[in-house]
Amino acid sequence: MTVSPSVLVWFRRDLRLADQPALRAAAKTGLPVIPVYLHTSEDGSPSRPGAASRLWLHQSLLRLDVSLQAKRSRLVVRRGPAADTLPLLAAETNAQAVFLNRVLEPAALREEQELESGLRSRGIRFECFHGGLLFEPGSIRTTTGGSFQVFTPFWRACWNERARLRLPEKAPATLSSPECWPQSLPISDLRLEPETDWAAGIRAEWTPGEEAARDRLRAFARHGVSQYGEQRDRTDREGTSRLSPHLHFGEVSPVQVWHATAAHPEAEPFLRQLAWREFAWHLLGERPDTLTQPFNPQFRHFPWHPNTKWLKAWQRGRTGYPFVDAGMRQLWATGWMHNRARLVVASFLVKHLLIPWQEGAAWFLDTLVDADLANNTMGWQWVAGCGVDAAPYFRIFNPVLQGEKFDPAGEYVRRWIPELRGLGPEWIHKPWNAPPLPLAAAGIRLGETYPRPLVDHATARLLALAALEEMHRAARRG
């Protein structure tokens, strides 16, 4: 018996049905559509997502399968490298074509190339779409055709091109099914979820999936976006969109986000942030080497001081600086950290502890549910001062002042550091300065119930500036 022709749609970072270009194109062919997810990165693979991301992915795949089933379709799950697995599946299902939306990570692009040659040798069509960015990579250029190195002109160029944005498209009304579905692994077989249940906090905090993403976007467009400009830095408020993990997994597209918010008169600060994400992918495309190497080559001479003990203290939220520790514990507990806190904890690791930014980047990739290769790399290099359009290295955040500014009453700190809950706003960001009486009343014994600061701010600042000077000297020598 011959199987009638079909089309494969390979889902990766586009775990949605609406505004999903590859799926839409596949539906338009009129052929039966076979949605596929491939588990390509086993333990130890460098492209394996972090633990928090895997947890999200697991939930998101389950929900994608549910929404496909509502359209009398389903998600076919397989294991193995794309270049082998997809041609086999195509042969099995008599697929004429494989449709996918580009993933712009260097490893994913290599994977796509291998897949393309594997398919072509078998006469199967391969079609790439773009669904993960506002503008196709490389399409935002300076007037002379160069690539932007500074964010603000890049943003201006995006703004000028906004008429080019497509309108968000609805999910295909129907997906025709093959007469016979190919075999599929249960999603739980991929072992994306952790064995031990460190993830309870993450589960409680988030609902992955397209439906939840749409709800969040709707709520943000209605109530959040107008406040965003003035609230976004307040760690003690719900001033941000919290869309980042949904965007990362493509449960919502940036085009949908743009159109849901852009009409608002006060949308600019938020749209600007959306463009930072765009900028990051644009940069990674130009300079994939910056995943590991500083964009500014001078920083190859920076005298970092790797220190496992300090790194661990930072990761666990035990640096002795409450604002830093609150951020790191929020990350550990929920898989997410407020952006302002990200800036401060990153600056602290790099400038107060002089630990290489790559260590911090690796920790974020493992623990953030929104871990995004391009954003993460750009962000860390930006903070470390070695990136594109970066904060100059001598801009060193004072973790106490940042706390007092962006968590004035100390609510954020008290929420994530229970051992400091008894301290009032006066001392909450600098318990080492607190007189004995309030400390005792709060049940705090510094060095026992809560650590003393790992380093003194003023001293650390001077050491960081000295390290920068040393780098300049070394760079001059060559």
Distances (CA, A) of 187 to 57, 67, 76, 77, 300: 10, 15, 9, 7, 43
Does 391 contact DNA by CB under 7 A? yes
C-beta atoms surrounding 120 within 10 Å: 12
Q: CA nearest 172: which of 13, 18, 6?
A: 18
We find the least distance from the C-beta atom of residue 327 to DNA, in angstroms, to be 14
d(CA 437, CA 211): 51
Applying CB under 7 A, which part among 159-167, 306-314, 436-444, 458-466 lies near DNA?
Answer: 458-466
- For residue 399, the minimal CB distance to DNA (Å) is 8
- CA–CA gap between residue 465 and residue 478 (Å, rounded): 20
Tokens of 160: 């000028």
Q: Which is nearer to DNA, 126 or 154 (CB)?
A: 154
Measured CA to CA, the distance from residue 228 to residue 245 in angstroms comes to 18
Q: Which stretch binds DNA (CB under 7 A): 140-148, 222-230, 426-434, 456-464?
A: 456-464
Q: How far apart are CA 133 and CA 251, in angstroms?
A: 13
Angle at 169 between CA 166 and CA 171, to 5 degrees: 155
Residue 395 makes contact with DNA by CB under 7 A: yes
Among 10, 126, 151, 249, binds DNA (CB under 7 A): 151
461 binds DNA (CB under 7 A): yes
Using CA atoms, how far apart are residues 305 and 289, in angstroms rounded to an integer? 22
Task: Pick the binder of DNA from 58, 402, 427, 450 (CB under 7 A).
Answer: 402
Applying CB under 7 A, the span of 17-25, 103-111, 125-133, 454-462 interacting with DNA comes to 454-462
CB of 470 to DNA, least distance (A): 12
- By CB under 7 A, residue 340 contacts DNA: yes
401 vs 108: CA distance, rounded Å:
41
Q: Interface with DNA includes 382 (CB under 7 A)?
A: yes
Residue 10 belongs to what H/E stretch?
A: strand 6-11
Position 56 contacts DNA (CB under 7 A):
no
> Do residues 241 and 216 lie in contact, with contact meaning Cβ atoms separated by under 8 Å?
yes
Q: Of 44 and 392, which has the nearer Cβ to DNA? A: 392
As given in the structure block, the two tokens for residue 149 are: 């190195």
Among 149, 394, 440, 447, binds DNA (CB under 7 A): 394
The stretch near DNA (CB under 7 A) out of 60-68, 335-343, 417-425, 439-447 is 335-343
Residue 440 or 462 with smaller CB distance to DNA? 462
How close are the terminal C-alpha atoms of the chain, in Å?
70
* 326 touches DNA (CB under 7 A): no
x-or-dash string of contact with DNA, 270-299, rule CB under 7 A: ---x--x-----------------------
Among the listed residues 157, 205, 339, 362, the single contact to DNA using CB under 7 A: 339
Q: Is the dihedral of CA 302, 308, 309, 314 positive or negative?
A: positive
Give 421: exposed, middle or buried? Use CB within 10 Å, 0-12, 13-18, 19+: middle
DSSP 8-state assignment for residue 277: H
Determine if 233 is a binding residue for DNA (CB under 7 A).
Answer: yes
Q: Which of 212, 343, 355, 444 binds DNA (CB under 7 A)?
A: 343
Residues 406-445: x where in contact with DNA by CB under 7 A, - otherwise, as a string? ----------------------------------------
Phi, then psi, of 34 in degrees rounded to 5: -115, 105
Per CB under 7 A, residues contacting DNA are 151, 233, 273, 276, 339-340, 343, 382, 391-392, 394-398, 401-402, 405, 457-458, 461, 465
